[in-house]
Structure 1
């Protein structure tokens, strides 16, 4: 928690207002001690985030976002729910027996300010039909200090291309870590995010991507769309400004849907 350790709620909010952008870790519990959700729960977390920031910011991010050409970026990312769980396949539910942790990150100071204020004020959030208590909030600011980072993905990284079918319609091709197109898209995505957020061309210098362990395929549903992503560890080398974007806003695509959240290991 660094400079924020030991501060009370008012002190944390004051420091946020001074311009510190944060990564939040929420400790969540339910009244009966367990959190039971549909297996594919990302959209419920996304909805809870929009509900717990200011209406003006929620409208801006949802309807417009930060643009680069035809691309629009929301500039927030969240992890999977972390904790001990069971899968009830007959009911298609995931059950966290002892609560769960959720990480949320954004480079937008107002986003962090607004979200923290709502969490400290209400003390609970709604995930679909389930109300859960926010029993703890910790904050950190992972800083990239050089031109190399080791990242542990705790929500799947997603890279893809959409193609037209000869007979009509479209299909999506997802790429696996280690493939040339995966690496190309990771770099292009970070450059577009940087330009969209800061309003200037991204720093020169190649982004190199190295896969450090065997990627695990994770197939999930977001609303009615099947999404394929991968959990693994990556080493990224390149301009530290772009590496910081990867840490703050996520890597790959669909970050605001809960994909590409990375823990900084070094």
Structure 2
């Protein structure tokens, strides 16, 4: 389920944020959730062996903006929209009720009013879909240099590992959420046209991801999970949120 929330600035006609604002949106989301649910997701989540999944993702903020690169700020002129997506009904209900109840929230130094909240249920009923990335899809692996030091390598959508890692990630999410083995077969994903690289600084960590349109093939249950929870890694930090096209 996707919830699209429209925020209007209260104290001025602009929303001013650091260009690297992902952690602020993530913090706002946790503050809106029911306290017990927020604790569960933040501290435990859904687990499969050593992997933990929060089962939600969110988009980049959408609105008319200018960049003040000198001061590392993004300045939105008027309202902004945020899409939050999850496969976990309790999460979606808590988010929706939380925003409706609060009506006003704080994002960074901005006081915002919740004016609109729309709900979209995207149903996957085939084994081939097209999606658009609302936030960068990040796919990476930790590798070793010749001297034994570890480093993080981010795959681009044209590399074979990009699709393999997304497929394995969806299967692990399925195991964590449903506590059973996922459907057989691999999920395949490839870009449609050009993909755009995005480099995000999240709490002093550099994360690379790609936006654009993608063709996905695989079992509809795994595709549905991807559409709802996000693709790739670090979904709850603002990566991999996608929508059907």
- TM-score, normalised on structure 1? 0.89
Match of 2:17 in 1: 37
Deviations 1:2-24 (A, max 9, x none): xxxxxxxxxxxxxxxxxxxx310
Q: How many residues align?
A: 244
Match of 1:3 in 2: none
Q: Work out the CA distance in 2 between the residues paired with 1:170 and 1:72.
A: 22
Match of 1:23 in 2: 2
Match of 2:225 in 1: 245
Select which of 17, 22, 32 maps to 1:52.
32
Deviations 1:173-199 (A, max 9, x none): 000001011011011011111111011
Select which of 128, 136, 139 maps to 2:108.
128
Alpha-carbon deviation of 1:66? 0.4
Q: Which runs of 5+ in 2 are unaligned?
A: none
Q: Secondary structure at the match of 1:184?
A: helix
RMSD between superposed Cα atoms in Å: 1.1
Match of 1:98 in 2: 78
Q: Secondary structure at the match of 2:130?
A: strand
Q: Work out the CA distance in 1 between the residues paired with 2:109 and 2:149.
A: 35
Q: Secondary structure at the match of 1:214?
A: strand
Select which of 153, 159, 167 maps to 2:133.
153
Deviations 1:45-96 (A, max 9, x none): 0000000001111111111100111110000100000111100112110011
Q: Secondary structure at the match of 1:202?
A: coil
Alpha-carbon deviation of 1:164? 3.7
Do structure 1's residue 208 and structure 2's residue 185 form an aligned pair? no
Q: Secondary structure at the match of 2:186?
A: coil
Match of 2:173 in 1: 193
More strand by share: 2
Do structure 1's residue 180 and structure 2's residue 157 form an aligned pair? no
Q: Work out the CA distance in 1 between the residues paired with 2:230 and 2:127.
A: 17
Alignment of 1:79-94 (within 5 A): 79-94=59-74
Do structure 1's residue 110 and structure 2's residue 110 form an aligned pair? no
Q: Work out the CA distance in 1 between the residues paired with 2:66 and 2:30.
A: 28
Match of 2:215 in 1: 235
